[in-house]
Amino acid sequence: MKIVVPFKSVADPNDATVAGAAASAPKSLINPFDEIAIEEALRIRERGDAAEIVGVTIGAPAVDEQIRAALAMGVDRAIRIDDSRALDPYAVARILRALIEKETPHVVIMGKQAVDDDSNQVGQMLAALLHWPQATFVSKIEFLENKRRARCTRETDGGLEVVAIELPAIITTDLRLNEPRYVSLPGLMRARRKPIEILTCDELRVAVRPLTTVLSIASPPKRAAGTRVDSVEELIAKLKQEAKVL
């Protein structure tokens, strides 16, 4: 079985403020949900259900650092689609469709959303474009019937939903699927020997233009400092009069 894992390089959420004004140049990371997707692919391979894991990302050469991290985690080979434009989810989904048609994997595992824009659309759009089944927000994956189908447990608002999907399919990962492994410098060094293939949209024969444009980004208002109360009575009084919640 072959698994393709698309991943996105995002600014470290610890580092950057929402408005993008970090104190120093923000560090980049693999989107944490995508990291979970990579980890899941590795675990599937480790239990003998997959032969090859291909990591895919879109971006300028700067994202090679995150590609190396993915390779160090254990991805077999990586493809970077060289494109430094700010792409909207539909554009990303179309580029990925072209690549997936070329790579013909049995399953695509990716994060349910990226922590920078929180769009949560690419997986769904990709499934639609490919006419593949999808299981989103997945916290458990099992393969059935000699890997012809997958049984996925989805984390929904109401609880856990278990779905069976025909392969090939798109699976997007929830936080609780696994805890990704740690990559250290020696791991990164060893990953230098693994190949990174560079492709362009032209080579994939996709022309993309954004359908959505970001107009503005604003930080949430700063929380006002709390006050310390001396007694339960005072607390109740304040809750009634000031907060008006009682």
Catalog residues that contact other proteins under the rule CB under 8 A. Answer: 12, 14-15, 22-24, 27, 29, 39, 72-74, 178-187, 189-190
CB of 174 closer than 8 Å to CB of 139: yes
Check: CB of residue 111 under 8 Å from CB of residue 6.
Answer: no
Nearer Cβ to other proteins (53/100): 53
Q: Looking at beta carbons only, is 182 or 221 nearer to other proteins?
A: 182
The helix (H) or strand (E) run that includes residue 237 is helix 232-241
Which of residues 40 and 83 has its CB atom nearest to other proteins in the complex? 40
- The answer to whether the beta carbons of residues 9 and 59 sit under 8 Å apart is yes
Q: Which is nearer to other proteins, 29 or 92 (CB)?
A: 29
CB of 6 to other proteins, least distance (A): 21
Closer by beta carbon to other proteins, 129 or else 187: 187
Q: Is 238 helix (H, G, I), strand (E, B) or coil?
A: helix
Question: What minimum distance in Å lies between the beta carbon of 186 and other proteins?
Answer: 5
Burial class (CB in 10 A: 0-12, 13-18, 19+), 32: middle
Smallest separation (angstroms) from other proteins to the CB of 164 = 28
Closest CA to 206 of 109, 126, 120, 113: 126
Residue nearer to other proteins on the CB measure, 29 or 108: 29
Question: Which value, to the nearest 10 degrees, does the dihedral of the CA atoms of residues 172, 1, 129, 97 take?
Answer: 100
Cis ω for the linkage preceding 105 (within 30 of 0):
no
CA 186 to CA 74: how far, in whole Å? Answer: 13
Minimum CB distance to other proteins, residue 182 (Å):
4
In angstroms, what is the minimal distance from the CB of 196 to other proteins? 19
Q: How far is the CB of 178 from other proteins (least distance, A)?
A: 8
Q: Judge contact between 173 and 110, C-beta under 8 A.
A: yes
Provide the 8-state DSSP code for 225: P
